[in-house]
């Protein structure tokens, strides 16, 4: 288990959970140029060894305090909420204390149980939303979108990172899956493509 911050060539990632078959202190042996699929950053080892590290990416715009406030206002315990959405009570505690971030589908179920819109728990200004943000605000994982569009999660991850180009077919499929205008999808893709790289 490794908890800390990993700087990659394109991202600065707060590591919440690492699945690794090598000792965490040997993280410098790994190639920090990951592929992000469905919120999981995959770090490939630089040798021919097939062992990998998987890091769950934070849910952009997630508001832990808003979740706790909504839950307490509704008079719902962590145990009740966890049973309603199918997670462990300690998971709710970890979300509310910023130790981990939820998957968008889990958070969508929590918002429904609490009787609030999902955008109360995930706050991202409209003019800065990427396709990943739009997907999160729809309460969907990359796998859900893949099932709706017929695209692979690898392709969806590439599009969400703003890599390459966005074809008309892909833009239309994503717009239909997320129930948004195609123009919104294209604008969000451009934001991801033009996002500044973090300073080293």
- Measured distance CA(46)–CA(52) in Å, rounded: 10
**Domains of the chain: which residue ranges?**
4-56, 64-120, 126-194
pLDDT tens digits in sequence order for the chain, 200 residues long: 344 444 443 444 444 444 443 434 333 334 444 444 445 544 444 333 333 333 456 899 999 999 999 999 999 999 999 999 999 999 999 999 999 999 999 999 999 999 999 999 999 999 999 999 999 999 999 999 999 999 999 999 999 999 989 999 999 999 999 999 999 999 999 999 998 866 55
Given this structure, which CATH class describes domain 64-120?
mainly alpha
Burial 19-51 (b: 16+ CB within 10 A, else e): ebeeeeeebeebebebebbbbbbebbbeeeeee
> In Å, how far are 90, 141, 161, 178 from 182, measured between CA atoms?
39, 19, 18, 10
Enter the pTM of the model: 0.72
Identify the CATH assignment for 126-194 out of 1.10.260.40, 3.40.50.920, 3.30.70.20, 3.50.40.10: 1.10.260.40
Class of residue 145 by CB neighbours under 10 A (exposed 0-12, middle 13-18, buried 19+): buried
């Amino acid at each position: 288990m490794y908890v800390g911050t990993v700087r990659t060539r394109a991202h600065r990632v707060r590591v919440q959970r690492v699945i690794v078959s090598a000792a965490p202190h040997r993280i410098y042996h790994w190639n920090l140029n990951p592929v992000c699929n469905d919120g999981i950053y995959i770090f490939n080892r630089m040798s021919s060894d097939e062992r990998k590290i998987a890091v769950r990416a934070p849910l952009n715009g997630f508001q832990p305090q808003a979740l706790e406030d909504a839950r307490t206002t509704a008079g719902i315990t962590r145990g009740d909420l966890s049973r309603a959405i199918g997670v462990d009570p300690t998971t709710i505690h970890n979300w509310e204390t910023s130790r981990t971030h939820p998957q968008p589908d889990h958070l969508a179920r929590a918002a429904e149980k609490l009787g609030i819109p999902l955008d109360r728990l995930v706050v991202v200004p409209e003019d800065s939303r990427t396709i990943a943000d739009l997907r999160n605000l729809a309460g969907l994982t990359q796998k859900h979108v893949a099932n709706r569009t017929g695209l692979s999660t690898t392709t969806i991850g590439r599009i969400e990172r703003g890599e390459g180009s966005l074809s008309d077919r892909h833009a239309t499929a994503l717009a239909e899956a997320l129930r948004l205008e195609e123009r919104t999808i294209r604008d969000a893709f451009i934001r991801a493509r033009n996002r500044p790289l973090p300073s080293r």
